[in-house]
Amino acid sequence: MRRGIAATALVASIALAATACGGSDSGDKADGPVTITWWDTSNASNESPTYAALVKEFEKANPTIKVKYVDVTFDQAQNKFDTAAGSKGAPDVLRSEVGWTPAFAKKGYFLPLDGTAALADQAKFQPSLIKQAQYDGKTYGVPLVTDTLALVYNKKLFADAGITAAPTTWDELKADAKIIKAKTKADGFWLNTASYYAQPFLYGEGTDMVDTASKKITINTAAAKKGLATWQSMFSGTGLHKADITADAYAHIEDAFVNGKVASIIQGPWEITNFYKGTAFADKSNLGVAVLPAGSSGSSGAPTGGHNLSVYAGSSKDKQDAAIKFVAWMTSAKTQTKIALKNATLPTRSDAYTAAVTADPGVAGFQSVLTSAQPRPELPEYSSLWGPLGTELTALAGGKESLDKALSNSETAMAKLLPDYTK
């Protein structure tokens, strides 16, 4: 997926760290502008042009600061920053995925921003998003964009099948998929096998991968097993697409959805602009967005994602001051509104949801489901847990191992990442 939620562990690029870093930049003159480096991890084709243009606007409004804009591939950025920060060569500002923020804060790589201009408007931000930017009582990032997962669907295909409302339970979704297949020949539902997309099935049973309060790994409990048994059942049955465990699965699912070959999928707002490029959504109003179906607990939930802007603790004082000013400007209501209008992403502050922003049916739809999103626990290793779970779910979806074995293996792998947690 675009944001690669559990970042792929790739070897860091030494060349990039050497040439695109803020901490080692020696190009500033004593009496000239301060130059800071920003590593942006947004999509290079759909989103980066907006951010590059905003950098120019910032420089024009702040002539004493220059911003070296570097677009870094998302699934490589976590490892590259980790390596660069460890050698004192990191960028002055990082667009940090919310799961990375506490992990890097724990290592001392991020500057606490409490009491700075970057958080002057803190009350305007959604409280749960500020919480996700915190570690050990301090705030290490300012929310730039947010997201969550929802059931996105093709209103016309649903209507052609005589279905007038989005399903509210997984059983209803299965029944709707069967009707859609019979009436329209399109598949009713196609589920991504990545572990991030399995998270709602855990929430639907009132559980999670871990319980941070009791410091216990809960992926192999009865509740988790029930939720992931439901997840497994979504790959077989009339109108349900079989599991795609190929490397190009994400692209296959997206292509099928935007071109009307499948009526519904689970997806996030980062794909809104791509939805509109497909034949099925040339009329934007055909895009439906609904809260994910509930599990047997009767509740529905989806993970809260997004990105913060964080400042490198290893930068010089003048660069940190400039970086804080840049972060405040980039996360202001005016700038967030511009980003939302250009990229169809979700703002993190209430005053950026203007009438123009919510005129986009995709943005308005995802805004309406944000209340069901659950913030990640304050656990630096949390996002890393999706890695071992994903490996096991792929094997499970491919019929190579049982659910019991998949959860047992996941529990064992998670215990290695969380040695102070009990099973």
- What mean pLDDT, rounded, does the chain reach? 92
Residue 46's pLDDT is what? Answer: 85
- 95 — phi, psi (to 5°)? -80, 100
Q: How far apart are CA 126 and CA 331, in angstroms?
A: 13
Residue 30's pLDDT is what? Answer: 53
What number is the average pLDDT over the span 123-146?
95
What number is the average pLDDT over the span 177-201?
98
Same topology for domains 14-147+305-374 and 150-303+379-417, yes or no? yes
- CATH superfamily placement of domain 150-303+379-417: Periplasmic binding protein-like II (3.40.190.10)
Domain boundaries, the chain: 14-147+305-374, 150-303+379-417
Bridge partners of residue 290, in order along the sequence: 151
What number is the average pLDDT over the span 205-224?
97
Q: How far apart are CA 157 and CA 316, in angstroms?
A: 57
- DSSP 8-class letter at 98: T
Q: Is the pLDDT of residue 192 over 90?
A: yes
**At residue 249, what is the residue type?**
A
Q: How far apart are CA 311 and CA 92, in angstroms?
A: 6
Our measurement of the distance from residue 67's CA atom to the centroid of its chain's CA atoms, rounded to an integer in Å, reads 25
| Each residue's pLDDT tens digit, 301-333 | 999 999 999 999 999 999 999 999 999 999 999
| Each residue's pLDDT tens digit, 76-109 | 999 999 999 988 789 999 999 999 999 999 999 9
Residue 32's pLDDT is what? Answer: 77
Q: Using an 8 Å Cβ cutoff, are 397 and 244 in contact?
A: no
Query: Rounded to a whole number, what is the distance in angstroms from the first to the last CA of the chain?
Result: 30
pTM over 0.75: yes
Q: How confident is the model at residue 9 (pLDDT cuts 50, 70, 90)?
A: very low
14-147+305-374 sits in which CATH class? Answer: alpha beta
Q: How far apart are CA 152 and CA 174, in angstroms?
A: 15
What 3-state class would DSSP assign to 145? strand
- DSSP 8-class letter at 297: T
Q: How confident is the model at residue 13 (pLDDT cuts 50, 70, 90)?
A: very low
Q: How confident is the model at residue 24 (pLDDT cuts 50, 70, 90)?
A: very low
